[in-house]
Structure 1
Amino acid sequence: MYRYSVTEPPPRRCVLPFVADAPQLADLRGAVRAELAAWGMSALTDEAELIITELASNVIKHVGQGSAATLVLDAGADQLRVELHDKSDKEPQRLHPTCDEESGRGLQLLSALAPSWGTTRTAVGKAVWCELPLAPDETRRRILRATTVMESYGLAVGGPAARLTRRPVLEESATSLILDLLHWLTAQGLDPDDILDRAQTHFEAACQAA
């Protein structure tokens, strides 16, 4: 994979042209991981890889398998800007939360993990961009951890390898995971109702503080 990178002096930039197909995604993640490590921004690796995978998957789905695309990373002193360029001028649409379509999953994830994101028209198409602070806030850390757990749980129960895209699947998987956790708490001699009450109290306090 061709890479154009500027490490010194800041601001630092990496341009990664790639072909939008599934085999390229692993190489793309590896290149991003290496670049962030070189920049001293490894703390953002998990979030960046997750977002980039979803956005690149959307290009495959909506622009076309084998489409030319470009990933651009711009690192400032306290944040990372991620841009994914493709040659389609059709802007992505945020889906209603109750929609069962798969196409909005990447944007919903982007909204949850990135405090600032959007789309920009370019001379040849568009760019979807987001900005990740170097120190992720606690809510986004929790969302990232929950995403990892849910995807691993899908594999554990024999479900799809990690792409929990449809709302009914998400609801069923979350319910099943919570049910398993309640059984586990009971087996440990703990009171599930007490744990649920405490979790709800912490959740409401976090929402009020946000």
Structure 2
Amino acid sequence: DIRPANVLLTEENMVKMTDFGTSRYLNPESIAVTRVGCPPYMAPEHFEGKAVFQSDIYSIGMMFYEMMMGKLPFESFNPLKIEKEVKERLFTALHEKVENLTAGQSAIIMKALAKDYTDRYADAAAFKKAIIKLQEADTAPEIPKGEIPQPSNRPVSDKSPSKKVCFNCGKLLSPRAKICPYCYQKQD
């Protein structure tokens, strides 16, 4: 059951997962597979009781989607309507909706949310590798040799960016944060 409420951030900024009550480990055939989980974060195959490892990739992708959008992509919180929207894939790519999100960033999240689990990342290591590869490619361009950037003649503004604090946990947030990365509380 991967969802924001089951993700913890330690004081050392390490992410920890909790609530393994529905996990399948050693012998999946010995465990009754049920439709247990939080519908907004359940993969299409999970609704059929056929969860696979890539179902967790979908759940993580949905958390990323929610963090970027500030909300889930569903019009309703009715589990049956969510199941229909998940199976029909009725949500659009993030970069079409989120300002300053690149197509590459959107593509990583949308691949994690692929309708068919075989189109998702094979495992968490592959998902992480895609994120790292994008981060490495997203570096500032080098200044060509021989050119020295000139300082701007514009006056420096004395306005500092406004600070935002999570009303739930009190941690300092980015001014544009829609969800607190520490407690996953939506910010208004």
Q: TM-score category by the smaller chain?
A: 0.3 to 0.5
Kindly indicate whether structure 1 or structure 2 has the higher relative contact order, using CA contacts under 8 Å at least 6 residues apart: 2
TM-score normalised by the chain length of structure 2: 0.32
Structure that is richer in helix per residue: 1
